[in-house]
Amino acid sequence: MSLTVTQDFNFKSPIEKVWLALTDANTLGKWVMANDIKPVVGHKFQFRNEQWNLIIDSEVLEVEEPYKLSYTWVGGGINTTVTWTLKHEDGTTHLHLEQTGFEKEDQAFNGAKYGWAKMGEELNNVLEVL
């Protein structure tokens, strides 16, 4: 059975700005991790974090500026798809996230394969500095 992570977020920023944060490699790198994304269907790219020894292989599947972006998220023991959906309403940009394809059998042991526990601590450090 395949499982899904879904989350919803709201921002006061215009939809174009949130879209840029999702599709501009430099901006995306500031809050997810270093990458070479381009919002072009078929573009193959990677998310990399050398400190965690983590590489995520991705391929852009769908681009509907500024409403929808979808790419594969493969690495660290999982083979999933990440889809972002954006909607602007009454001065708020709604961002919906779906990460699909988590397989039950991948769960055991893979969770810590790349020392991801450190992520939480490092992020806190980043937030404190900001």
Query: Residues in the site for other proteins, rule: CB under 8 A?
Result: 3, 5, 7, 9, 11-13, 17-18, 21, 27, 30-32, 77-78, 95, 97, 99, 102, 106-121, 123, 126-127, 130
Q: Which is nearer to other proteins, 42 or 127 (CB)?
A: 127
Residue with Cβ nearer other proteins (42 or 109): 109
Q: From the CB of residue 122, how many other CB atoms can be counted at a distance below 10 Å?
A: 12
Residue that the structure tokens 């840029």 belong to = 20
- At closest approach, how far in Å is the CB of 43 from other proteins? 21
Name the residue nearer to other proteins (CB basis): 3 or 41.
3
Q: Which residues contact 42 (CB under 8 A, 6 or more apart)?
A: 59, 60
Q: Could you tell me the smallest distance in angstroms from the CB atom of residue 115 to other proteins?
A: 4
Q: Which is nearer to other proteins, 91 or 120 (CB)?
A: 120
In whole angstroms, the minimum distance from the beta carbon of 32 to other proteins comes to: 6
